[in-house]
Structure 1
């Protein structure tokens, strides 16, 4: 039996997903003893299966899933009409590794997944700056396994996408074509960004700008990842390679707002402390980004409009004309009026 990690983990995974894995043993005709061995390996008491409110940790879910996938020789855990032998998802990951951008990699993944699992079809769609990965069910999924299947497929592809570009990809939302289950609160952990039930199909959404990022992994990194691939579905990447761009866009969209770290963090589903830390990791600060956006807007208005300086100050997000003049002189070495007369862009 493998020891649990030293760090305590939050028990957030619904017992319903454990029950689905147990059904996979029945579906593949394995004896009850094999399922009990899997539970023991993951330190899950059999009596927990009868408690609909029970939860397990991510570590327990990883242990149970890996043991079951190997015992059943099915990485799909009984979801589809044919097995996906051990190594199937590694093969899909390798097939997309040479893609120049995440968009191409995910499009390949979706296409190739249909070749090995024709029961569902995955598709990447972009609309209004938002990317959607959607699942169309082409066959009836086994009773008691549908939810776990749809959740797992979306979690897998999201985790792999983050790994490909070595970056967090914050979700804007997820949706599922079934009623909210009793354990619906757990979805806030599984899919940060909000979850909708009773939708037309299963899907997740994120900012389409991430699709333009290049892949940052090679064959060596892939081999290393495949030695312990399951944590990809729960790994929270510290780096967000578009964080600076996302913060800058929010500042530009609402130039008159105060834009505190608390307010911006809430918009991006992170704490103020995390926001400051991740900006620092990217070589930026919130105040510097605010100054950059305000400076750009102020100089544009001074050079391309005849608005009074007071109105320019308000449009750039300053509470008073005096504070604007002081800040502008610090940026350019000139007062707004002098800058306008000279008509000289800042360096």
Structure 2
């Protein structure tokens, strides 16, 4: 077995491992073999502040799901046999958008168990995936809630092939002793003792198309737990956000530092994520400038010098040179369709 990397950060609370052990006990089974596979010593379970790595969590979860034949890991009164969550993902593959896919996910999940109810809603430009507890989950409340929400988020990111940054997380239970782990689990401030549990994100992500097929699903299912234990990196909506900011908020996009600050990113992260999308800040700037210039040339009679300034050029000469490079024609010739 591969040993976890020494550089892996142990940030998953031992309480989640203990919850899986509790599921074994309830079924009259011995968790020893699963703990060994995950390289977790029984002594660690008696240390409330102990942590395990994401890889150990993945190993333990997979072993427990197979041995218990329960992908819900004991959360619900009825088992969810191995393959249940794969079936949920498959049912969402043909959706035209992420919003439709997530709505299907919630509806089909509710058919598998009536212990919780998942719903998708939108308000004030935000999408909310809500978890309502219909049956008392007791000792499994925290582990179930966190796992289901993170799994739904991981599936959403995978379906759209996009990182979906959360804007808020609310949880129904009280803050646990390992509350510091939640900055890693959800990457936003978490509010506890809420009326119900939910996470929120920009509703614009719901319009993203589904980018996966059956072949991709088969590959993903080989290590599906990665969706739950590790964050997704790629952000498909970032390019559109950058383009919109360049067009609508030129004062906040004079340079990479200003633009990154407006988008709540570091300049390094902005450039890296754009590169992952096959884009660059300069290319997007040129695209927005071109679209602005073309619109003003065709829609108005403003002088070329004024259009150059509104498109973000310091002088008319540089604008004309750039425009001819884009279209092969001068601005005047383009305006008059010469």
Pick one of 182, 191, 198 that aligns with 2:186. 191
Count of matched residue positions in the alignment of Structure 1 and Structure 2: 333
Relative to structure 1, is the Cα distance of residues 256 and 269 closer, same or farther in structure 2, using a 3 angstrom cutoff? closer
TM-score, scaled relative to structure 2: 0.84
The DSSP-based 3-state class of the residue aligned with 2:138 is coil
1-side partners of 2:181 and 2:286: how far apart? 39
- Structure 2 residue aligned with 1:336: none
Gaps of 5+ in 2: 325-329
Residue-by-residue CA offset, 1:159-189 (whole Å, 9 max, x unaligned):
1112222222222222212233232232222
Shift of 1:331: 3.7
- Structure 2 residue aligned with 1:160: 155
1-side partners of 2:23 and 2:33: how far apart? 14
1:42 aligned to 2:38? yes
- Structure 2 residue aligned with 1:114: 110
1:70 aligned to 2:79? no
Relative to structure 1, is the Cα distance of residues 324 and 194 closer, same or farther in structure 2, using a 3 angstrom cutoff? farther
Shift of 1:91: 1.6
Gaps of 5+ in 1: 334-338
What is the root-mean-square deviation in Å for CA atoms of aligned residues?
3.3
Q: Is the 8 A contact 1:332 1:346 kept in 2?
A: no
Residue-by-residue CA offset, 1:198-224 (whole Å, 9 max, x unaligned):
322211122222222222222222222
Shift of 1:341: 9.5
Which runs of structure 2 are paired with 1:144-159 in the superposition (5 Å)? 145-159=140-154
Which runs of structure 2 are paired with 1:53-68 in the superposition (5 Å)? 53-68=49-64
Relative to structure 1, is the Cα distance of residues 62 and 268 closer, same or farther in structure 2, using a 3 angstrom cutoff? farther
Residue-by-residue CA offset, 1:114-144 (whole Å, 9 max, x unaligned):
111111111111223322111111111122x
2-side partners of 1:268 and 1:153: how far apart? 29
- Structure 2 residue aligned with 1:80: 76
TM-score, scaled relative to structure 1: 0.82
Shift of 1:104: 1.6
Shift of 1:327: 5.1
1:132 aligned to 2:128? yes
1:14 aligned to 2:13? yes
The DSSP-based 3-state class of the residue aligned with 1:11 is coil
